[in-house]
Amino acid sequence: MAGKKQFDVDIALDAAMVQFWRDGYADTSLDDLSRATGLNRSSLYSSFGDKDSLYLHCLDRYAVRYGARYEQALSSGTSEEPLQAIQAFFEVTLQRIADPDVPDGCLVAQTAMATPVLSPAIAARAIEAVGLQRARLRTALNTAELTEKDAENYATHITAVNQSLAVMSRARASQKQLRKIVDISMSALAQALRGRG
C-alpha cells in the first residue's frame, strides 16, 4: 500500500529480543526499543502491542529458536548412550554463551529471575519455558532406564545447572569455568547411570 512504511518483522523482533536480553525488561525503555528496531513508538505499538506484548513475542521467539536446538541435541542420544544427548544439550548452551553476536546469559533465565517484578503473563511464560526444558530433559533421561523419579530429579538438576551457566556467564565466568561446571554434572550423571547398570 502506497505511503505505508514496510519493515521486516523478524529483523525487528530479533533487534528487540537482543535489546531486552542485553538490558533486561525493566532497564529497556521504549526509546531503547525504538533505536534498536528502527521503528518509532507508534509503529512498535501498532505492530507488537505494548511493551509487555513485545517482550512476550521476544521471549517466544527466543524459546523457539533455542528450544529447537535443545530438541535436536537431546534427540542425538540413545538408550545405550544417553550421556551423549545431555552433553550435546549443554553444548547448545555453551555455544550460545560463546557467540559474540548475542548477549551473555539467557533471556529465559534472566526473565525467570525477574518474575517477582514482571507481569503475571511474562512470569508465567518464563516458568513455562523452564518447565519445557525440564520436560525435554526428562524425556531424554527416560531412555536411560532411570526410574521415573530419578529421571525427574536429574532433569530438574540439569535444568538448574543449565540456567546457572547463563547466570555465571553474565558474571563473567570463563568458558573454562563453565565447562568445568558441565564436566562435574556429567560426571555425577555418568556415575548414577553406571550404578544402574
- Kindly state whether residue 163 falls inside one of the protein's structural domains: yes
Confidence at residue 143, expressed as pLDDT on a 0 to 100 scale? 79
Buried b (16+ CB within 10 A) or exposed e, 28-37: beeeebbebb
HSE, side-chain direction, 13 A CA sphere, residue 158: 33
Confidence at residue 58, expressed as pLDDT on a 0 to 100 scale? 97
Q: How many Å apart are CA 19 and CA 23, to the nearest integer?
A: 6
pTM across the whole model: 0.87
Confidence at residue 80, expressed as pLDDT on a 0 to 100 scale? 63
pLDDT, tens digit, 9 for 90 and up, residues 157-195: 999 999 999 999 999 999 999 999 999 999 999 988 876
Confidence at residue 77, expressed as pLDDT on a 0 to 100 scale? 65
Confidence at residue 191, expressed as pLDDT on a 0 to 100 scale? 87
Q: How many Å apart are CA 174 and CA 168, to the nearest integer?
A: 9
In angstroms, how far is the first alpha carbon of the chain from the final one? 66
Q: How many Å apart are CA 89 and CA 66, to the nearest integer?
A: 10
pLDDT less than 70: residues of the chain: 1-6, 77-80, 195-197
Confidence at residue 2, expressed as pLDDT on a 0 to 100 scale? 45
Structural domains in the chain (count): 1
**Contact of 15 with 37, CB cutoff 8 Å:** yes
Alpha-carbon distances of 75 from 79, 114, 187, 194, rounded to whole Å: 11, 31, 20, 21
- Kindly state whether residue 36 falls inside one of the protein's structural domains: yes
Confidence at residue 161, expressed as pLDDT on a 0 to 100 scale? 97
- Kindly state whether residue 4 falls inside one of the protein's structural domains: no
pLDDT, tens digit, 9 for 90 and up, residues 129-142: 999 999 999 988 88
- Kindly state whether residue 1 falls inside one of the protein's structural domains: no
- Domain containing residue 156: 9-196
- Kindly state whether residue 133 falls inside one of the protein's structural domains: yes
- Average confidence score pLDDT of the chain: 90
- Kindly state whether residue 143 falls inside one of the protein's structural domains: yes
Alpha-carbon distances of 105 from 140, 162, 179, rounded to whole Å: 24, 10, 15
Confidence at residue 194, expressed as pLDDT on a 0 to 100 scale? 79
Domain of 169, CATH number, reads: 1.10.357.10
- Kindly state whether residue 78 falls inside one of the protein's structural domains: yes
Confidence at residue 3, expressed as pLDDT on a 0 to 100 scale? 45
